[in-house]
Structure 1
Amino acid sequence: MGKYQNILLDLDGTILDSGPGIKKSVQYALDHFSLYHQPEEKLRRFIGPALTDSFMRVYGFSTEQAEEALSYYREFYPTNGIFDASLYPGMEECIKTLAEHGKKVILLTAKPIFFAAQITKHFRISDYFFLEIGTELTERDSSKVHLIEKALRDGNLKKEECLMVGDTKYDIDAAKEVGIDSVAALYGYGSPEEIANANYSIQKPLDLRSLV
């Protein structure tokens, strides 16, 4: 295996197809604003980015409305949405192989770590991670740039040995801004156009092994 020793993996849309639970939870929040039966195309845009940003971007909510919507989302998600998801085929084998070959596999998600840690334990992959990086429930800055920088500090990682794997522009653009290489997960929720600037791309999780 090559120069990349530290593999930073996005959660939603990269490790996990978490779309069903997230979309149901977003719709529950939108119901409180009389936005019923929203189209799939809009709901899927909430998978990956920070939720408050998505409520503002997709529906034009004010900051206050977005915070209120987030509180409704969190009423529903912990009991009805969090485990309504599935690992992408081959992902567990991929993570396990990387860890067994001495790679530092790092979870890097804009999701609150309170939820993310429950998810990795539920799907029995938590033991493979060197670090699990997410946001705090009260944290304002959930940008991927902030999270990558936190991973670099907490793990004492060298940028040139890091590889960010994600399915949206938020992952790929953040990696570029911080100065690390990236992999576009084409099987996730982002469009191929928005992640075209990645250094590499993969069609399925197991393809990652040949890059590192």
Structure 2
Amino acid sequence: MTLCLFDLDGTLIDSEPGITACIRYAFDKLGVPAPAELRSWIGPPLRHGFAPLLDHDAERVEAAVDYYHERFATLGWREHAIYPGIAATIERLHASGHTLAVVTSKPERHARPILENLPFGDTFARLYGPHPASPHSEKASMIATALTDFGVAPEQAAMVGDRRFDIEGALANRVRAIGVLWGFGSREELELAGAQALASDPGHLAEMLA
């Protein structure tokens, strides 16, 4: 494999504490009770989660997203943990000569400080994130851009992620789709999306990509 593309949340970092705290903050600012289960919100675009609970009121949905970003910019981006074994896997792949990049549904302005503060952040050549105003995941288009930027054929690339959006984006570009089982998506979700391989832990992933 030449180009290894990684999702961020649920793949490199466990960002549940920061994300869920920001979602609760947004609901609190709007005076709306937050749902008890928020883990499934991690991965898809925020608007997908807020819209049905705010009666698809576009103005309130945008206000909720703004409140989320307000807290994330100051506190939320720091509230995460690196998955055990990920640092060693990333360093191994980088040392082996693979080109690494991050493709995330998180807006670049939020993903950038996280990546720059990871101990292995400098091993990633580029970061791809959607525009903050986009209601879509955009994984497929960002993967396509990465292939063009690096001049890599699809068969020389892999996309690694924990949700169906990562798998679907990879398959749309004929890129190898690898699901990870330590993140926020289930085995069933990844298999239904068409994952071509599933990694049980970061060491297993390193063997797959090495």
Amino acid across the alignment from 1:105? L
Is residue 2:83 matched to residue 1:99?
Answer: no
Alpha-carbon offset, residue 139 of structure 1 = 4.6
Indicate the larger mover: 18-27 or 141-150: 141-150
Kindly indicate whether the alpha-carbon contact (under 8 Å) linking 2:45 and 2:136 is maintained by their aligned counterparts in 1. Answer: no
Is residue 2:168 matched to residue 1:173?
Answer: yes
Q: In structure 1, what is the equivalent of residue 203 of structure 2? A: 206
Alpha-carbon offset, residue 62 of structure 1 = 3.3
Is residue 2:45 matched to residue 1:50?
Answer: yes
Separation in 2, partners of 1:58, 1:132: 31
Alpha-carbon offset, residue 66 of structure 1 = 2.0
Alpha-carbon offset, residue 125 of structure 1 = 2.0
Among 11, 31, 34, the alignment partner of 2:31 is: 34
Q: In structure 2, what is the equivalent of residue 19 of structure 1? A: 16
Offset from partner CA, 1:21-54 (integer Å, 9 cap, x none): 0000011111133333531x2x112211111223
Normalised to the residue count of structure 1, the TM-score between the two structures is 0.91
Kindly indicate whether the alpha-carbon contact (under 8 Å) linking 1:117 and 1:126 is maintained by their aligned counterparts in 2. Answer: no
Is residue 2:179 matched to residue 1:184?
Answer: yes
Offset from partner CA, 1:116-152 (integer Å, 9 cap, x none): 1100111222211122111233455542112111211
Q: In structure 1, what is the equivalent of residue 115 of structure 2? A: 120
Q: In structure 1, what is the equivalent of residue 106 of structure 2? A: 111
Q: Which structure 1 residue ranges, 4+ long, deviate > 6 Å from structure 2?
A: none
Amino acid across the alignment from 2:188? E
- Give me the CA root mean square deviation: 1.7
Indicate the larger mover: 50-59 or 64-73: 50-59
Separation in 2, partners of 1:6, 1:60: 42
Separation in 2, partners of 1:200, 1:19: 24
Amino acid across the alignment from 1:163? A
Among 61, 66, 76, the alignment partner of 2:61 is: 66
Alpha-carbon offset, residue 107 of structure 1 = 0.6
Kindly indicate whether the alpha-carbon contact (under 8 Å) linking 1:116 and 1:134 is maintained by their aligned counterparts in 2. Answer: yes
Task: Give the fraction of aligned pairs with identical amino acids, expressed as a percent.
Answer: 32
Separation in 2, partners of 1:176, 1:208: 18
Change (3 A) 1:107 1:58: farther
Separation in 2, partners of 1:123, 1:29: 27
Give 3-state SS (helix, strand or coil) of 1:7's partner: strand
Offset from partner CA, 1:144-175 (integer Å, 9 cap, x none): 11211121122222101111110011111121
Offset from partner CA, 1:96-120 (integer Å, 9 cap, x none): 1101100011111011111111001
Offset from partner CA, 1:69-118 (integer Å, 9 cap, x none): 11010111111211100110011111111011000111110111111110
Kindly indicate whether the alpha-carbon contact (under 8 Å) linking 2:181 and 2:187 is maintained by their aligned counterparts in 1. Answer: yes
Aligned pair count reads 207
Amino acid across the alignment from 2:121? S
Separation in 1, partners of 2:66, 2:129: 18
Amino acid across the alignment from 1:38? P
